[in-house]
Structures are given as structure tokens and as C-alpha cells.
Amino acid sequence: ATAFNDRVAQAKALNAFLVETPDHALKAADAADAARASGDLKPLSGVPIGMKDLFCTDGVPTTAASGILDGFTPTYESTVSANLWQAGAGMLGKLNLDQFAMGSSNETSAFGNVISPWRRKDGGNAPLAPGGSSGGSSSAISARLCPAATGTDTGGSIRQPAAFTGISGIKPTYGRCSRWGTIAFASSLDQAGPMARDVRDCAIMLEAMAGFDPKDSTSLELAVPGWEAGLSSDLKGKKIGIPKEYRVDGMPAEIDALWEQGIAWLKDAGAEIVEVSLPHTKYALPAYYIIAPAEASSNLARYDGVRYGLRDLPDGAGLQDMYAATRAAGFGAEVKRRIMIGTYVLSAGFYDAYYNQAQKVRTLIARDFDEAWTRCDLLLAPTAPSAAFALGEKSADPLAMYLNDVFTVPSSLAGLPAMSVPGGLDGQGLPLGLQIIGKALDEQGVLNAGLAIE
């Protein structure tokens, strides 16, 4: 814990941590020493981890990287973080992210960009995006500031930053990890999951994080499987589907080559490869960028200057003015864009044309996967259509940014488990990620295929 605390303190230039909590990590280390002496070590005893600042932590400021929560210190602990402390882990600090987890590059944080420790060969020292929204987590793990961290994934925020920084991350089946105490973005999509250096560490972390929680109405009432004990890279008898619609126009040849390489690795591990079709894939991105903002606009209505964090009360202002001033000052541009899209697609005149239509598309996408599962056990695809881009490269063009989520959003809409594992480096020496998507509740299959690739 001391060594990691020192590294965190020395690596401020990455801007990965918003708050440092060295004492939390040291306390867990002491508890681990005591546990070792008495012979009751827990799965994560003494392991110092990073906590995405979307998880409420009792007595430790929690901001969702938004100005509107500046000054907010929860008096309660999220279920996921409580589960991790229960398993013996300690906290190095709270990790930066895209504001309210909205973004793919960690450039929407109110507390500055997170910088990836990676650099392009030909790019001088130009800083690259760590991916988003869990960019603090990905940057910190790849810079070895922490061995593991929490992430959340609404449309790819665990998998895409993992891919950009050469680490692993898994979004479990919707409902595996409790959403209680995790600041909500789009509640029907939000899932917590681990990010770590390898598949085994992800399995250990996920076992600690997951589990039924009566405080979350969509929590799955199921026992947590022993994913670590079940790890095996032998894929004999498994059929891996290659979704043909994921071969999108304009995808760099290197991503194609990576995919071919992934297919070869899975064959070597004993799997059979089959081509499958997910015909509604092209509608996933537009459906996601209607449903997620719609839910966000509703979830973010609670930030009114009364209940949490920031309050902007201009002289002589009334209640409505206070709401307006607080929200104008507290929310960043991307958050405002999502609230406006969300309220528009939910408005009486446009509800059927947009929100209802997007919900129907969501059902069709889920059915595409169901159909695919009649022919295969798992799917293999790239995690993202590009390697990490430079900070500033896409931030002025929301559509270009949204397009980066093209491979991660469909499985989110269907609530399926999906993982990104490092697949190799591109010509610029930057990491590329391979994505494995599984049937609902088949985290084990996903982890095992990840292990075969790693």
C-alpha cells in the first residue's frame, strides 16, 4: 500500500486521481497483516485499489467529475465499494472520469482531462486519451498506480478505456452488481465492473463486487459463481461467433488484423469459429444515444441546488432562478447536451417517434443476440474501431466521439456480459482490445475466452 500510495502521489501529471485516500489503503494493509497472522485472509486482503468517482464513498468526497457535486460528501457507502472493503481491499483514492460517465475520452470531466501513459511512436509527446468514461481507472492501472480499479459501463465505459490502455475489464450481466450508491447515468444500462491488469484479477475483483442487493430493484437474486476457480483457457466444444455486421466501413486494417489474430488464438484454444449475423447492429448507436440521454435527463433532475453539492443563489433570486443558475453553472457542456436530447425525445410530441422507437429497436437488438446464441456460445469482435486518439482530436465533434462506441453499445442494450482484453499493439505501438460477448449470466465463458486470448 505504501509503494502504491507513493506512486499515486508522484503521478499527478496523469490527473487520474481526484482525491487521494492513502490512510484508507494503509488501514486495509494493517488489517491484512492481522488477518494473515490469524489465518483468515480474505480474497482481496490488503489490495489497494482505485475507486471510480461515480461510487459514493462514506466520508470521502464524490463528484461524478461534475461541478454540480463539488463539495458533496456522502454519508453512505455504495454496495459495490462496501463489498470490496468487506473482501479486504483498501482505497488509494477516487478516480477521475467523464462527467456523470458521459463520454469516451475522459475530456468531459470538470476537473480536467485524464492523460494516458501511452504515446504514439510518431506523435512526439502528444497526450492521448485514456478512453472513457472510466479513464482515470484505465490510466491509473496502465501506469501501475494501482493493481485494479472499479469502472462502470453504460455503453462501453469499462471496455473501451481498457482497450485504449492495454488492460482488461469486464462488464457483467446487467443486474450482477448492485447500482445502489452508484451515481446514476442511465439506470437500465448502468453496470459496475472491474478493470485490472489481467483476466484473473478481473475475476477476483468481480466476485467481490457482485451479488444480490435488496436495495437495487434490478439486482439479480443469484449466488455469485466462483469465477476465479472456474477459469480455464481450454475452449474445446465452444463455438465462437463472428458477427459479420461488425465489419464496418472505414475500419483500420490493423483492427481487422487484430480480429483475425483473435480468431486464430481462440481456434488454438480448441474453439470452433462460426459466422453469425446481428442484423440490427447499425441501429444500436442511434437507439443508445436516445435511450441513455432520456434516462439521464430524468436521473439528473435531482441536481437542483437543494439536495447536493453546488448551490448558486444569485442576489434576490427565487427558487426557479436558483435551480436554473445552479444547473447552468454546475453541469458541463456534454451533460447539458444529453439533458436537452433526453427531454426532447421524451417530450409529448416526439415520444413515439424517438423514445418509443428506440425501445423497439432495443428489443430487436436483444433478439438478434438470442438468435446468435442458437448458433454459438460467445462472440468475438474488436472492442473499439480505433486505437487511442489524441486528446482534443474528437472533442469538438460529438458524433465522431459517439461513433467510437459502435462495438460496445449493442451488448449494453441487451444487458449481456462483455469483456475487453489486450490483443496486441498497432503500428504506432498503441494497444488494441479484443471484445468477448457472452450470453446473459455467462461471465465464466467470457472470462475463459479472455484467458485464452491473453
Work out the number of other CB atoms within 10 angstroms of the CB of residue 349: 7
Cβ proximity to ligand GLN, 97 vs 269, nearer residue: 97
| Span from 82-90, 98-106, 323-331, 444-452 in contact with ligand GLN (CB under 6 A) | 98-106
Question: Cβ closer to ligand GLN: 368 or 405?
Answer: 405
Are 178 and 49 in contact by the 8 Å Cβ rule? The answer is no
Interface mask (CB under 6 A) for ligand GLN, residues 348-387, using x and -?
Answer: ----------------------------------------
Q: Which is nearer to ligand GLN, 185 or 331 (CB)?
A: 185
Could you tell me which stretch among 147-155, 206-214, 239-247, 317-325 binds ligand GLN (CB under 6 A)? 147-155
Residue 326: CB atoms within 10 Å:
22
d(CA 366, CA 277): 13
Residue of 213, 405, 426, 443 interacting with ligand GLN (CB under 6 A): 405
By CB under 6 A, residue 395 contacts ligand GLN? no
CA 304 – CA 342 distance, rounded (Å): 17
Q: Is 302 left (phi over 0), alpha (psi -120 to 50) or beta?
A: alpha
How does DSSP assign 59-122, residue by residue? Answer: TB---TT-GGGTT---SS--HHHHHHHHTT-EEEEEEP-SGGG--SSS-S-TT-----S---TT
Biggest CA–CA distance in the chain, Å, is: 72
Contact status: 133 vs ligand GLN (CB under 6 A): yes
- What one-letter code names the amino acid at 287? A
Binding of ligand GLN at residue 53 (CB under 6 A)? no
Tell me the backbone φ, ψ of residue 340, rounded to 5 degrees: -70, -45
Q: Is 332 in the site for ligand GLN (CB under 6 A)?
A: no
Q: How many residues bind ligand GLN (CB under 6 A)?
A: 13
The least CB distance from residue 293 to ligand GLN, in Å, is: 8
Please choose, out of 139-147, 152-160, 174-182, 364-372, the segment that lies near ligand GLN by the rule CB under 6 A.
Answer: 152-160
Query: Least distance from C-beta 268 to ligand GLN, angstroms?
Result: 32
17-20 and 90-95 strand pairing: antiparallel
Active site residues: 52, 133, 157
Alpha carbon distance 284, 266 (integer Å): 27
299 lies in the binding site for ligand GLN (CB under 6 A): no
DSSP-based three-state secondary structure for 452: helix
153 lies in the site for ligand GLN, by CB under 6 A: yes
Is 101 a binder of ligand GLN (CB under 6 A)? yes
> What grid cell was written down for 387?
486505437
Q: Choose the binding region for ligand GLN from 39-47, 154-162, 247-255, 306-314 (rule: CB under 6 A).
A: 154-162
Question: Judged by CB under 6 A, does residue 102 bind ligand GLN?
Answer: yes
Which of 88, 90, 103, 445 is close enough to bind ligand GLN by CB under 6 A? 103
Distance CA(137)–CA(17), nearest Å, equals: 9
Cβ proximity to ligand GLN: between 155 and 423 the closer is: 155
Near ligand GLN by CB under 6 A: residue from 62, 150, 157, 386: 157
DSSP letter string, 237-249:
T-EEEEEGGGS-T
Q: How far is the CB of 321 from ligand GLN (least distance, A)?
A: 30
Q: Which residues bind ligand GLN (CB under 6 A)?
A: 101-104, 133, 153-157, 185, 292, 405
